């Protein structure tokens, strides 16, 4: 399989978007259906690769649509971590006028994930709106249970420290677990 070939080639990690419903798989990803994603997950995990699934919250035109089912799908595989990113509508695209899910909706998704997978690292990924609600999204994400965050704000770091958290930094994708050797020359 392709997954086995990736493992044999020395790939460190596989990232895969997981949507939780047929409509998003067909309309947004242009797949024949959700089964292809599930089969891909099965093959990736079976290969022994470190697999870090991603959920793109709001991909069905800004609405939370199949994301909770995506959590159920992901939880069956017991990943080493997973990432939640948030739809960020771009100009000159079919979704340019769409609103992203609210910080509360994202926090609810993260809190549900934390309850479903209490030991699994959850990351708020790099792709998310950088608008007036961005700070609230970061703060609520920490309160809801993220353990990693890409491209954080200074205010979020300050809040995390006030909560007694000790942020660690490394210049890698947020899917990569913290390693001191990645971080020794950073900051």
Predicted confidence (pLDDT) per residue in 33-54, tens digit: 999 999 999 999 999 999 999 9
DSSP, res 93: S
Question: What CA–CA distance (Å, rounded) separates 106 from 101?
Answer: 7
In the predicted structure, residue 140 carries a pLDDT above the cut 70: yes
- Does the pTM surpass 0.75? The reply is yes
In the predicted structure, residue 186 carries a pLDDT above the cut 60: no
Question: What CA–CA distance (Å, rounded) separates 170 from 174?
Answer: 9
- Residues with Cβ within 8 Å of 85's Cβ and at least 6 positions away in sequence, in order, are 54, 55, 56, 57, 124, 125, 126, 127, 128
Question: What CA–CA distance (Å, rounded) separates 148 from 30?
Answer: 30
Question: What CA–CA distance (Å, rounded) separates 123 from 176?
Answer: 10
Which H or E element spans position 15?
A: strand 13-17
Domain coordinates of the chain in residue numbers? 2-183
Tokens of 59: 């991909």
Tokens of 80: 């080493």
* DSSP bridge partners of 148: 123
Predicted confidence (pLDDT) per residue in 144-168, tens digit: 999 999 888 899 999 999 999 988 8
- Give the residue among 54, 28, 26 at the shortest CA–CA distance from 41: 54
**DSSP-assigned states of every residue in 31-65:** -S-THHHHHHHHHHHHHT-EEEEEEEETTBTTB--
The topology (CATH level 3) of 2-183 is TIM Barrel (3.20.20)
Predicted confidence (pLDDT) per residue in 3-15, tens digit: 889 998 999 899 9
Question: Which whole-number Å values give the CA distances from 31 to 2, 74, 87, 130, in the listed order?
Answer: 18, 18, 19, 29
């Amino acid at each position: 399989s392709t997954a086995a070939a990736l493992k044999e080639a020395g790939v460190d990690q596989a990232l895969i978007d997981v949507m939780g419903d047929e409509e998003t798989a067909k309309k947004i990803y242009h797949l024949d259906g959700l089964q292809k994603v599930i089969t891909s997950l099965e093959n990736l995990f079976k290969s022994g690769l470190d697999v870090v699934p991603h959920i793109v919250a709001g991909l069905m035109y800004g609405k939370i649509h199949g994301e909770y089912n995506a959590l159920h799908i992901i939880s069956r595989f017991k990943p080493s971590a997973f990432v939640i990113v948030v739809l960020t509508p771009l100009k000159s695209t079919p979704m340019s006028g769409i609103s992203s899910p609210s910080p509360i909706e994202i926090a609810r998704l993260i809190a549900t994930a934390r309850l479903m997978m209490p030991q699994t690292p959850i990351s708020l990924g790099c792709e998310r709106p950088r608008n007036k609600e961005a700070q609230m999204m970061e703060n609520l994400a920490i309160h809801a249970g993220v353990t990693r965050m890409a491209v954080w704000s200074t205010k979020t770091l300050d809040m995390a420290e006030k909560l007694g958290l000790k942020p660690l930094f490394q210049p890698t994708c947020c899917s990569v677990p913290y390693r001191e050797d990645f971080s020794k020359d950073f900051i």
